[in-house]
Chain A
């Protein structure tokens, strides 16, 4: 399996732990990653500025993948949704498709609709498979309760095919169990982390993530994991701010990418996985898994 790694902006500019852990773990499971030479923003936060920009930006990304004959792996939920939406909207709207292609032609590119887009959760669960991951790991992590936070755009909107559905267990939860951990549900699992409110009001956004963290602590989870850079940016990086704003000092839980946990199970070093870049109290978790 070979994919073009389209990281998007958040992962490539500050969530280095995600990029490091993706690059370290996926090749061990037989996935080849090609890094692009030419890339642009997918346009998720720019939807409010112009509804047409995401179509052009995403078509450009897909055209670049087509020019290399590869499919895309998009580790960000926002990018994944925007790319999927563009594929559908352009196929349903031929005049828009030809207009976008007119712009791309000027850059020597063309989008035909051949390339598809995958999220790491699909690659890990559907393409590699839970059994293969369970047999590939070097050691099982201890059976401790971990909550997954899939993130809005992995489950919504149902208008377009999404990697996860709310019917039955999540793929992400099955993946968590494959490396020995216990997946624990919590009441606000399918809710929003609040990242998109940050530009309007940082305080409001942090209040959102604070309630999510309190809910995971209430059900006894020992860590929180996700495969979305926005979610982990909030859960991992905003805990101190959440303590200050809400005045609740109990807000403290290790927050890691699933690929970082997977890397630990595959016997990789914590530095290779960028775990030393996480801001949340990950040491507590590392002690328990004995690394």
Chain B
């Protein structure tokens, strides 16, 4: 059994304050370039990355963490690419999501299912049966594909995954 050093636990400890400090939201001058190109903003009315950055900058992170709006990001990274101040609204949103997990807020159901599956199988889902155009139900074996590989020592893998941040999900899963 491998013994966790204190240093190791500290390396994988998430801190919103430190992460946000690195992301420098104070540099934002609200040009709204991120929101004007944002994929999610076009289809989710209440999601506006420039507003999220402004709220974090003004110290309203708690309100965001308690809201489900932070889970709408589509991770297309356009906001980070076009920001004239080279800061990343995407990373700010990811930091808020991490903090929401640390505080025990439940993410949308699909994320919980994916996380559960990673702990069990090492992948976000099991190989599925899909319908072909000839109405046959097929999966990997029927198609002659080899079995999907799993982590060799799944128990150790699980232990490590829990250590790098999934521990916090325990209350939710």
Among B11, B12, B143, point to the contact of A20 (Cβ < 8 A): B143
Assess whether A53 is in contact with B42, with CB atoms less than 8 Å apart: no
Contact with B along A46-86 (1 / 0, CB 8 A): 11111111011100100000000000000000000000000
Assess whether A49 is in contact with B166, with CB atoms less than 8 Å apart: yes
Once A16-B138, A196-B75 are accepted as A-B contacts, the answer to whether A95 and B111 lie under 8 Å apart by CB is no
Assess whether A276 is in contact with B132, with CB atoms less than 8 Å apart: yes
Assess whether B43 is in contact with A53, with CB atoms less than 8 Å apart: no
Assess whether A200 is in contact with B71, with CB atoms less than 8 Å apart: yes
Q: State whether the Cβ of B108 lies closer than 8 Å to any Cβ in chain A.
A: yes
Among A12, A208, A277, point to the contact of B132 (Cβ < 8 A): A277
Assess whether A9 is in contact with B123, with CB atoms less than 8 Å apart: yes
Q: State whether the Cβ of A284 lies closer than 8 Å to any Cβ in chain B.
A: no
Stretch at the interface among A98-106, A110-118, A169-177, A214-222: A98-106
Q: State whether the Cβ of B8 lies closer than 8 Å to any Cβ in chain A.
A: yes
Task: Count residues of chain A with CB under 8 A from any CB of chain B.
Answer: 60
Q: State whether the Cβ of B103 lies closer than 8 Å to any Cβ in chain A.
A: no
Contact with B along A28-50 (1 / 0, CB 8 A): 00000001111111001111111
Stretch at the interface among A122-130, A139-147, A152-160, A249-257: A152-160
**With A and B bound together, what is the CA distance between A278 and B131 in angstroms?**
9
Assess whether B8 is in contact with A192, with CB atoms less than 8 Å apart: no
Assess whether B75 is in contact with A47, with CB atoms less than 8 Å apart: yes
Which residues B1-57 have CB closer than 8 A to chain A? Answer: 2, 5, 7-8, 11-12, 14, 19, 39-40, 42-44
* B71 neighbours in A (Cβ, 8 Å): 48, 199-200
Question: From residue A275, how far is it (CB to closest CB) to chain B in Å?
Answer: 8
* B161 neighbours in A (Cβ, 8 Å): 53, 56-57
Q: State whether the Cβ of B150 lies closer than 8 Å to any Cβ in chain A.
A: yes
Once A99-B7, A196-B75 are accepted as A-B contacts, the answer to whether A52 and B43 lie under 8 Å apart by CB is no
Question: From residue B22, how far is it (CB to closest CB) to chain A in Å?
Answer: 11
Q: Considering only CB atoms, which chain B residue lies closest to A39 in the complex?
A: B149
* B12 neighbours in A (Cβ, 8 Å): 52, 99
Assess whether A199 is in contact with B108, with CB atoms less than 8 Å apart: yes
Q: State whether the Cβ of A132 lies closer than 8 Å to any Cβ in chain B.
A: no
Q: State whether the Cβ of B85 lies closer than 8 Å to any Cβ in chain A.
A: no
**With A and B bound together, what is the CA distance between A60 and B145 in angstroms?**
24
Assess whether A197 is in contact with B143, with CB atoms less than 8 Å apart: no
| B residues whose Cβ falls under 8 Å from a Cβ of A | 2, 5, 7-8, 11-12, 14, 19, 39-40, 42-44, 68, 70-78, 80-81, 93-95, 97-98, 101, 107-111, 114-115, 118, 122-128, 130, 132-134, 138, 140, 143, 145-146, 148-153, 156-157, 160-161, 163-166, 168-169
Known: A41-B123, A211-B42. 20 other contacts (CB 8 A): A9-B124, A16-B138, A20-B145, A35-B149, A45-B124, A46-B124, A47-B97, A48-B94, A50-B166, A52-B12, A52-B14, A55-B164, A107-B156, A191-B39, A192-B74, A192-B75, A197-B44, A199-B108, A274-B143, A276-B133
**Which 6 residue pairs across A and B have the least CB separation, nearest first?**
A50-B165, A192-B76, A48-B97, A199-B110, A204-B43, A40-B122
- The 18 listed contacts between A and B (C-beta, < 8 Å) are A16-B143, A45-B124, A46-B118, A48-B70, A49-B101, A50-B98, A51-B95, A102-B5, A103-B164, A152-B75, A152-B76, A156-B76, A157-B77, A157-B80, A196-B73, A197-B73, A208-B74, A276-B133
